[in-house]
């Protein structure tokens, strides 16, 4: 999306609109598709999500340009489908894993996010080398979406595998109806509120450490795009396994403790770490694998490790809170409200503050304030309702 946006002869807000709209509709997708997975069948919800993602992504290749209405429709469908696909798969991994290693297994699954980013980055770089950057920005970006067709053979193999998996918490609901709050117990409703508050806090830090980091290096510090991509790619290889590391730790000490530690570390350390980016980048042009490059590389890993500590064990935290009839819905809604609404608006807030006040750290401060405020609210809410949480939250 970032590369595509460069080709548009329009304002930043216009070029970001198609990106943001995909984020904004994700919570709606998690409500509908999560309800299908919860109330009917896990694989049914996942099948519908994968089909929507695959078809809409492939059709992007055929749109005339990004200003055409069909492009926005396809972006809405993509966001809607992704709002259900990733959370449903996370819950499936949680339920299929041994009860004593759910943090480890779900953490291993979450390495698929940085792996997907590396694959997309490789496709972009190779395409530019083959046809040139100018041609890529004009028409070559379409080739990247052709790879979306790979989702269908992957899904076919995954579906065969999942049909033979024995779930430890197999849903027993065979009827289909939409999410009904009256079916939730008082404890589950209290836990749902807590999960939404914590998701917003943790997701803010997670978005900062995984997504906004690259935006800050390229757009705010004006770091050479190739150098920035090298830093992000290599640091991604190093931080990706920490999802499993924090998940394994959560199996031992409890997911809430790990998430809380990551949240505190993020609120306290994220801004100073981003400031280190500026200090190192102020030396001017940075060569790949030079000493300043390694400084940025190490700081990048540190920021991302804080992010993975926040969100790595979160699926276990949420799934421990509620009955299996509501897991996909609650986790999907929590995850997508955090990464979608807060994460999506963080880009706009960052650029708006930079344009108005010439401050590179406005967006970072916004995310930290959101994380701190919702983290405190979640803690207060939990302390006021201890009887609903003591048995389920560790």
What CATH number is associated with residue 82?
Answer: 1.20.1250.20
Residue 88 lies in a domain: yes
Domain interval for residue 87 = 2-388
Dihedral sign, CA of 197, 269, 116, 112?
negative
Q: Are 328 and 42 in contact (CB under 8 A)?
A: yes
194 within a domain of the structure (yes/no): yes
**Lowest pLDDT segment from 56-70, 138-152, 188-202, 230-244:** 138-152
Helices 186-207 and 291-311, interaxial angle, to 10°? 170
Structural domain includes residue 248: yes
Question: Mean per-residue pLDDT for 146-156?
Answer: 79
User: Across residues 359-378, what is the average pLDDT?
Assistant: 87
Q: What does each C-alpha distance from 344 to 269, 340, 354 come to in angstroms?
A: 22, 5, 16
pLDDT beyond 70 at 280:
yes
Q: pLDDT tens, 45-83?
A: 888 998 998 888 888 888 877 677 788 888 889 889 988
Residue 70 domain flag: yes
The 10s digit of each residue's pLDDT in 166-191 is: 655 555 554 555 556 666 778 878 88
Q: Tell me, what's the pLDDT at 283?
A: 66
| Out of 79-88, 109-118, 173-182, least confident range | 173-182
Residue 89 lies in a domain: yes
Domain count of the fold of the chain: 1
State both tokens at 387.
């009887």
Least confident among 95-109, 159-173, 210-224: 159-173
pLDDT confidence bin for 244, thresholds 50/70/90: very high
Dist CA 94 CA 165 (whole Å): 12
Range 333-342 average pLDDT: 80
Q: How far, in Å, CA of 104 to CA of 316, rounded?
A: 10
The structure tokens listed for 282 are: 């102020």
Has residue 394 been placed in a domain? no
- Rounded to an integer, the average pLDDT of 195-223 is 82
Is 290 inside a domain boundary? yes
pLDDT of 352 > 60? The answer is: yes
Q: What is the mean pLDDT of residues 145-154?
A: 78
pLDDT digits (tens, 9 = 90+) for 252-273: 999 999 999 999 999 999 999 9
| Residues shown for the chain | 394
**Domain-embedded: residue 367:** yes
Structure tokens at 42: 């896990």
Angle at 303 between CA 300 and CA 308, to 5 degrees: 120
pTM (2 d.p.)? 0.85
User: Residue range 291-318: average pLDDT?
Assistant: 91
């Amino acid at each position: 999306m970032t590369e595509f946006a460069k080709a548009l002869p329009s304002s930043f807000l216009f070029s970001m609109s198609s990106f943001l709209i995909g984020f904004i509709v994700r919570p709606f997708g998690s409500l509908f598709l999560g309800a299908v997975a919860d109330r009917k069948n896990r694989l049914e919800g996942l099948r519908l999500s994968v089909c929507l993602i695959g078809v809409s992504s492939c059709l992007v290749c055929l749109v005339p340009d990004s200003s055409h209405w069909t492009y926005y429709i396809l972006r809405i469908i993509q966001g809607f489908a992704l709002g259900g696909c990733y959370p449903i798969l996370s819950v499936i991994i949680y339920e299929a894993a041994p009860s004593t290693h759910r943090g480890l297994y779900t953490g291993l699954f979450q390495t698929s996010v940085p792996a997907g980013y590396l694959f997309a980055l490789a496709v972009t770089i190779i395409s530019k080398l083959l046809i040139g950057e100018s041609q890529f920005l004009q028409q070559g970006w379409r080739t990247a979406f052709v790879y979306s067709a790979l989702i269908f053979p992957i899904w076919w193999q995954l579906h065969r595998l999942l049909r033979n998996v024995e779930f430890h918490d197999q849903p027993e609901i065979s009827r289909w109806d939409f999410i009904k709050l009256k079916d939730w117990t008082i404890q589950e409703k209290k836990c749902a509120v807590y999960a939404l508050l914590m998701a917003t806090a943790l997701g803010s830090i997670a978005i900062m450490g995984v997504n906004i980091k690259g935006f800050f290096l390229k757009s705010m510090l004006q770091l050479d795009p190739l150098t920035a991509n090298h830093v992000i790619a290599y640091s991604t290889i190093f931080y990706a396994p920490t999802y499993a590391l924090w998940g394994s730790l959560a199996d031992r000490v409890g997911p809430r403790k790990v998430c809380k530690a990551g949240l505190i570390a993020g609120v306290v350390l994220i801004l100073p770490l981003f400031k280190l980016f500026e200090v190192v980048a102020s030396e001017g042009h940075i060569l790949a694998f030079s000493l300043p490059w390694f400084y940025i590389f190490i700081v990048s890993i540190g920021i991302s490790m804080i992010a993975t500590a926040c969100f790595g064990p979160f699926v276990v935290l949420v799934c421990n809170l509620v009955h299996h009839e509501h897991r996909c819905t609650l986790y999907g809604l929590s995850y997508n409200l955090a990464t979608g609404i807060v994460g999506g608006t963080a880009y706009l807030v960052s650029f708006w503050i930079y344009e108005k006040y010439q401050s590179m750290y406005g967006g970072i401060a916004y995310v930290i304030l959101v994380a701190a405020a919702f983290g405190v609210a979640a803690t207060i809410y939990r302390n006021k309702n201890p009887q609903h949480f003591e048995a389920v939250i560790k």
